Structure 1
Amino acid sequence: MKRADGPRHAWWYLAERWLLVLAALALVAGLFEPGVMTQRPLVDHIVVLDVTQSMNVTDERIDGEPVSRLAFAKHALRQSLLRLPCGSKVGWAVFTEYRALLLLSPIEVCANLKELRSTLAQIDARMAWSGNSEIAKGLHSAIGIAKLLPDKPSLVFVTDGQEAPPLNPHYRPAFDDKPGDVLGLIVGVGDLRPSPIPKTDPDGRPLGFWRADEVAQTDLRSQGRNASVRSEGMVKDAAGGNAPTLGATPGSEHLSALRESYLRLLAGEQGLEFVRLQSPERLAQALTSPALARPEAARFSLAGALAAVAWALLLARYVVPLLFRRRASRTGLKTRVS
């Protein structure tokens, strides 16, 4: 004859079987991977990395160790990939001379995290095909790439902002970009204090630092030479001769610092945001900014939730009797004491 005390009376045997049945149903339902459609903010970026020689300046730090600007930018991007919501996309491009070159079109981050990190690791200064660093033209080229990609991704342009050769502030390249056509960020990297620029051979072996007599200290127009693209027009500053500050330092162009004011100027002209790269967390926050996110339909899987429900039901089958026995033992103890 079964005992009627505790959880082992008739109702508990019935409840116990229902727990098993419900747990089994939850597990079976999970095998079909049910889901619901929701709207969630996702990002789609094409990241353009400046690989010119000034990005080799070691004025950044990772875990207290000095590293180059390019290495610091890559480290921050690598960490930021983990903070992007699944469904978001990222692609890579590089900038040198006066144009950007697409390396990898944007792909989904969670399913392709290994591939994204592997290709990012391979980007270095040896990819540069020229010693020039014409930032304004490179930004224009990068905007063109973003416009041509099917999903019109936002642009993340990572650079220290040093124009080489320097630009004449009264005569700047004129482009037909419409501000706001491409959303995105200009990410400034580097210290505000100037440092020597490392010189390397085509294989990346160090050759010391660039000297003042080896680097153009004034703009090409002042030297009576054409721009890099002959068909490009040069426009005088519309402010009636009050030329903007482009960060050039004649006589010290062999040294490099973050040209923040110039990058802010370019960002404002192109309808982009500017952020200074100071930590991976700050970069991840900028990359997931609501201003760059796009609400897209996404499927939220219920399989994990159903598995958790099944686990909870099975756990309850064993925990509830233990609680009843513990309560019964306390009641019995009180009765004997009384």
Structure 2
Amino acid sequence: MSVRTHPQVVDGLLPSPAPVRFVDEDGKPLEPPAGYRAPGDEQLLEAYRRMVLGRRFDRQATALTKQGRLAVYPSSRGQEACQIAGVLALREDDWLFPTYRDSVALVSRGIDPVEVLTLLRGDWHCGYDPVATRVAPQCTPLATQTIHAVGLAEALRRKGEDAVVMAFIGDGGTSEGDFHEALNYAAVLRAPVVFFVQNNKYAISVPLARQTAAPALAYKGIGYGMRSEQVDGNDLVAVLSVLTEAVRHAREGGGPFLVEAHTYRMDSHTNADDATRYRTSEEVEQWESADPLARLETYLRDRGALDAEGVAAANQAAEEFAARLRDAMNTDPETDPFELFDHVFADPTPQLREQRALLASELTATED
């Protein structure tokens, strides 16, 4: 039995054979890739300011963890181009579904940094209002948020809204069944969702080669009939250009879009991880030489769009932001132990009422 193929359709789904790039590791412009347009200087300057602030936020959050103010913190140092571009590619009425490593993206979205860190301090599962911010709670279980993102995207489409949903995911999450179910479900429904994979090369300590034999994670989209692309995740210009196109494609009814950004997690998985056990200092140094922040700064300086005064202003704003965060986080939160029983059921069960009464009696006995 012969099988008829449609190569023209396949060609439209395949990612570029090499990651899309606009700027090299030294900050020098490259030949613009076909089919993509570089963002304007004003948007790139805004991205630079947010990247500076995001890097400073990340350093401050790491310090707060060492001081015992946070229970855990997963750094995204080195992934700022992905975090910031993902936010800038969206409108205010679009939705973002983040992972536990995307705190910088949430801060860039305008969420109070203390509310962002509430989960990592252990106070609440989510410290901000997802409906008001159009940002889902940061997801710790790998890939489960991708299914939720597709469901919400389909709901928005059925309501007649032209909003888009972007789901952040790490390379480790692509090994989970939820990821594959989400891609299949989104493609069948042609839901307006962008799957943005930040491939930082390690799922905690598991290298990418132990997770997949695919030439790139972006190629996984073709199996579901989904347009896909791969991009240099440390090139802010390229990431923003590709994500802008992906969002446009989804918003205009083209269906879902899978984007893989090749980047690197410069710090350990979290403060509880020792990355020296599974990667070399030479590897880290190689990626640090491709720092996305330094690359964008050089690019903008060479274009005359950024000068020493602009760099100083961005750094000063970031330091003031960090100082406000320190002051806020050094204040002990007011806690109510009875919140354990709130928001579990609209009508508390007899068991919950019994447990609440037991806690009340124990607290009373302690006070006596």
Using structure 2 for the length normalisation, give the TM-score: 0.30
> Of the two, which has the highest radius of gyration?
1
Decide which structure has greater helix share. 2
Greater RCO, CA 8 A, separation 6+ = 1
Using structure 1 for the length normalisation, give the TM-score: 0.32
